[in-house]
Amino acid sequence: MARLFGTDGVRGVANTELTGELAFRLGRAGAYVLTKDAPRILVAMDTRISGDMLESALVSGICSVGAHAVVAGVIPTPAVAYLVRKYRLDAGVMISASHNPFKYNGIKIFNEDGFKLSDEIEYKVENILDDENFDFGEIQEGIFTEEKEAVSIYADYLKSRVDADFSNLKIAV
């Protein structure tokens, strides 16, 4: 297999290059490499239509090795890095292709410090993906929960970082 991780995660045309099967395998291999006992991994996405498919597959892969997937829904990428550190999670995943055209999507994995994975860790994940007979050990059953307050928690954090009064402003996004 060619190098899967680019400069900012794994990206490709959704459901062509970046398939549900690949997302499942990435979730499984990533959870196996990045986590310890009772691992917890945050999963979030942007608003691309392929996000739901990729999130479902990724969470299934994470849970298949006994990890706990904490699903945050639609939040900005920096929120993943922040929430991983705030809740002392083992890793975080953002499903987004940022500035790429809508037909693309991507999977960016963060370590427990909220930073991009090192090349060494990415190679470990890729080696597992290359090995069709990789032994993940005893079959595990992980769980997933939803973090419905992720956006509010991140917004409160951002507001705490600015010394200004926004109460009289009207902001359109």
**Which residue numbers are catalytic?**
98
Give me the residue label for tokens 């190098």: 3
Give CA–CA dist 58/28, Å, rounded. 8
Number of H helices and E strands in the chain, helices first, is 5, 6
Count Cβ neighbours within 10 Å for each residue of 35-68 and write b for 16 or more, e otherwise: beeebbbbbbbbebebbebbbbbbbbbbbbbbbb
